[in-house]
Amino acid sequence: MFSDKRASRVGDLLTIVVQENTTANKDNTTSTSRKASMDAAITAFLYSPGASGLLTKGGQLPALKYNAANTFDGGGSIKNSEQIVAQVTVRVTDVLPNGNMLIEGTRETSFSGEKQNIVLRGLVRSEDVAANNTVFSYNVADAKIQIIGRGTISDSQRKGWFTRIWDKLTPF
């Protein structure tokens, strides 16, 4: 009647309340330009060009003229915002000497031909476990939250395997 029902041993269950909001904005612009030119000629080599045929062609000594220009303009923009709200019940897989608990759990949902797996791993302090055996995700140390979607809609949002390989190999 007066015992504490909070998770504290291997095999106990905890409910993790996942409330994650992330926003990332990044905007890059790159512009480079380089020009080079060189104009060189040999006007005399040991003797004048008329006195010797050595190194001459048609009475002229070798000459070199070089011009180059290189321009690059590039840029990119990323705007990403995600919000995750879920509850995942996990199992205590180990209890460390200081009382912290290693947790791990999965949750699979399926609807309209789409499957979604949530995998959650991390480390929870026993002080962060509420009386109803819940812990907020921001209190999970070394949290790894993976949400993996599979199905027709998820598959159609991904590039095909050939396109992914081509994107890696193409120099353009």
Residue pLDDT, tens place only, 53-102: 666 776 676 777 878 887 878 888 888 888 888 899 999 999 999 989 99
DSSP annotation string for the chain? -----S--STT-EEEEEEEEEEEEEEEEEEEEEEEEEEEEE---BSB-TTT--TT-BTTB--EEEEEEEEEEEEEEEEEEEEEEEEEEEEEEEEE-TTS-EEEEEEEEEEETTEEEEEEEEEEE-GGG--TTSEEEGGG-EEEEEEEEEESHHHHHTSPPHHHHHHHHH---
CA distance 101 to 17: 16
Residue 126: which domain range?
13-23+84-169
**Beta-bridge partners for 66:** 38
**Beta-bridge partners for 23:** 81
**Beta-bridge partners for 74:** 30
pTM of the model as a whole: 0.56
- In terms of Cβ atoms closer than 10 Å to its own Cβ (0-12, 13-18, 19+), residue 6 is middle
Tell me: pLDDT of 4 over 70. no
55 located within any domain: no
73 located within any domain: no
42 located within any domain: no
Mean pLDDT across 13-38: 86
106 located within any domain: yes
The residue ranking higher by pLDDT, 146 or 50, is: 146
95 located within any domain: yes
Tell me: pLDDT of 104 over 90. yes
Mean pLDDT across 24-38: 84
140 located within any domain: yes
Structurally, the chain folds into a number of domains equal to 1
77 located within any domain: no
Tell me: pLDDT of 1 over 60. no
Q: What is the pLDDT confidence band of residue 148, given thresholds at 50, 70 and 90?
A: confident
32 located within any domain: no
Mean pLDDT across 28-55: 72
Q: What is the pLDDT confidence band of residue 172, given thresholds at 50, 70 and 90?
A: low
- C-beta of residue 159 within 8 angstroms of C-beta of residue 168: no
